[in-house]
């Protein structure tokens, strides 16, 4: 707990230091809202919660979008050019951002919201390759709280007049995240310890697994990018049986016959849709960060509680 608090404080200090010392307060009247650009939908939601009415948030990678492989548009360059502040995840997620920033000519400070987060490494199927840094830190609510502190400090730095509002908004949102974390822990506790493991083709839950005690197992020898073949599916079936995995969330299998085959031959539960890297459309099951975390943990519990 103390270590976590120190980390959070370090994150706050580093977040401020990360701000480029360019005066970006181009708002000339208070009627003009602070123009915030967030790299993807999850960061956009955090920025909206902290910024409230003082900010106007635009996201580059929208709902259901993939921030790993995004192709920026000329419109994105215009959004960046007009921005007062930009929030990015970093940890290797937005590889497309550097070129976009250059192309846009933006002078807005870029705030790395993961400043102060302890990065994890992704497990690599091919052990000979260097393991990549896992960018999905928001899947740990403790880390999401570091994001929120960095967002708050970034906004205060470019808009000091709004400090009291940003502080109050952040404090109330952080309290909601504390509640959410208790909920998530209680939901995982409701799953028998020996059933807390699933196969998922999404390698996005490393931070979640480490924080809340669940194992996310990659399908052995199956590419997580392409649609698995019948042979891949046979291999997944063997793995499920051997490792006694109670549930699978295989989001890149679109052939219902292959899913039926897995369910029939293994009796593993086929889980529903998870939201890992992007929110759903407004009105969908994961329209905010908090709803996303609730939705996922509900799906895990539904599949794993015996
Ligand atoms: Zn991802």
pLDDT of residue 218: 80
Segments of the chain scoring below 70 in pLDDT:
1-31, 123-131, 223-225, 252
Give the distance (Å) from ligand 1 centre to CA of residue 165.
32
Give the distance (Å) from ligand 1 centre to CA of residue 27.
35
Region of 285 (left: φ > 0; alpha: ψ -120 to 50; beta: rest) is alpha
The 8-class DSSP code of residue 220 comes to T
Tell me which residue has tokens 């392409």: 226
Please name which of 216, 146, 211, 220 lies closest in space to residue 181, comparing C-alpha atoms: 211
The 8-class DSSP code of residue 140 comes to S
Those residues with Cβ within 8 angstroms of residue 237's Cβ, 6 or more apart along the chain or in another chain: 261, 262, 265, 266
Give the distance (Å) from ligand 1 centre to CA of residue 1.
28
Helix (H) / strand (E) containing 152:
helix 141-158
What does the alpha-carbon distance between residue 300 and residue 214 come to, in Å, rounded to a whole number?
A: 10
pLDDT of residue 6: 38
Cβ atoms of 88 and 39 within 8 Å: the answer is: yes
Please name which of 57, 14, 12, 9 lies closest in space to residue 37, comparing C-alpha atoms: 57
Tell me the per-residue pLDDT of 247-279, one tens digit each, with 9 for 90 and over. 998 776 777 788 888 889 999 998 988 999 999
Q: Which two tokens stand for residue 196?
A: 């807390």
Give the distance (Å) from ligand 1 centre to CA of residue 69.
10
Give the distance (Å) from ligand 1 centre to CA of residue 255.
22
Give the distance (Å) from ligand 1 centre to CA of residue 34.
29
Give the distance (Å) from ligand 1 centre to CA of residue 153.
26
pLDDT of residue 123: 63
pLDDT of residue 126: 54
Give the distance (Å) from ligand 1 centre to CA of residue 28.
38
Give the distance (Å) from ligand 1 centre to CA of residue 93.
8
What does the alpha-carbon distance between residue 225 and residue 252 come to, in Å, rounded to a whole number?
A: 8
Give the distance (Å) from ligand 1 centre to CA of residue 66.
7
Give the distance (Å) from ligand 1 centre to CA of residue 219.
16
Give the distance (Å) from ligand 1 centre to CA of residue 202.
7
pLDDT of residue 125: 53
Give the distance (Å) from ligand 1 centre to CA of residue 276.
7
Give the distance (Å) from ligand 1 centre to CA of residue 159.
32
What does the alpha-carbon distance between residue 63 and residue 53 come to, in Å, rounded to a whole number?
A: 21
Give the distance (Å) from ligand 1 centre to CA of residue 209.
15
What does the alpha-carbon distance between residue 297 and residue 300 come to, in Å, rounded to a whole number?
A: 5
Bridge-based pairing state of the strands 247-249 and 269-270: parallel
Print the SS3 string covering 41-105: HHHHHHHHHHHHHHEEEEEEECCCCCCCCCCCCHHHHHHHHHCCEEEECCCCCCCCHHHHHHHHC
What does the alpha-carbon distance between residue 11 and residue 146 come to, in Å, rounded to a whole number?
A: 6
Please name which of 188, 195, 239 lies closest in space to residue 250, comparing C-alpha atoms: 239
pTM, two decimal places: 0.85
Give the distance (Å) from ligand 1 centre to CA of residue 44.
16
Give the distance (Å) from ligand 1 centre to CA of residue 135.
7
Give the distance (Å) from ligand 1 centre to CA of residue 203.
7
pLDDT of residue 18: 43
């Amino acid at each position: 707990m103390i270590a976590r608090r120190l980390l959070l404080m370090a994150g706050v200090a580093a977040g401020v230091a990360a701000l480029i010392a360019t005066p970006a307060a181009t708002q000339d009247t208070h009627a003009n809202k602070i123009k915030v650009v967030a790299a993807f939908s999850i960061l956009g939601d955090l920025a909206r919660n902290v910024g409230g009415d003082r900010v106007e948030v635009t996201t580059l990678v929208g709902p259901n979008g993939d921030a790993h492989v995004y192709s920026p548009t000329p419109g994105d360059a215009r959004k960046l050019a007009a921005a007062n502040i930009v929030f990015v995840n970093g940890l290797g997620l937005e590889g497309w951002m550097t070129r976009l920033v250059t192309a846009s000519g933006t002078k807005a400070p870029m705030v790395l919201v993961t400043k102060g987060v302890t990065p994890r490494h992704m497990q690599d199927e091919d052990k000979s390759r260097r393991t990549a840094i896992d960018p999905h830190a928001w899947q740990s609510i403790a880390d999401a709280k570091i994001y929120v502190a960095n967002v708050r400090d970034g906004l205060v730095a470019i808009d000091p007049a709004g400090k009291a509002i940003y502080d109050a908004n952040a404090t109330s949102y952080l309290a909601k995240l504390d509640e959410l974390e208790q909920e998530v822990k209680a939901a995982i506790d409701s799953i028998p310890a020996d059933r807390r493991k699933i196969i998922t083709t999404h390698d996005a839950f490393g931070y979640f697994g480490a924080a809340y005690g669940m194992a996310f197992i990659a399908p052995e020898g199956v590419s997580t990018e392409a649609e698995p073949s019948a042979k891949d599916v046979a291999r997944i079936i063997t793995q499920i049986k051997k490792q006694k995995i109670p549930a699978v969330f295989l989001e890149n299998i679109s052939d219902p016959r292959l899913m039926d085959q897995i369910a029939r031959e293994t009796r593993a539960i086929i889980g529903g849709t998870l939201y890992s890297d992007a929110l759903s459309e407004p009105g969908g099951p994961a329209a905010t960060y908090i709803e996303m975390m609730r939705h996922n943990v509900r799906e895990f519990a539904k599949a794993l509680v015996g």
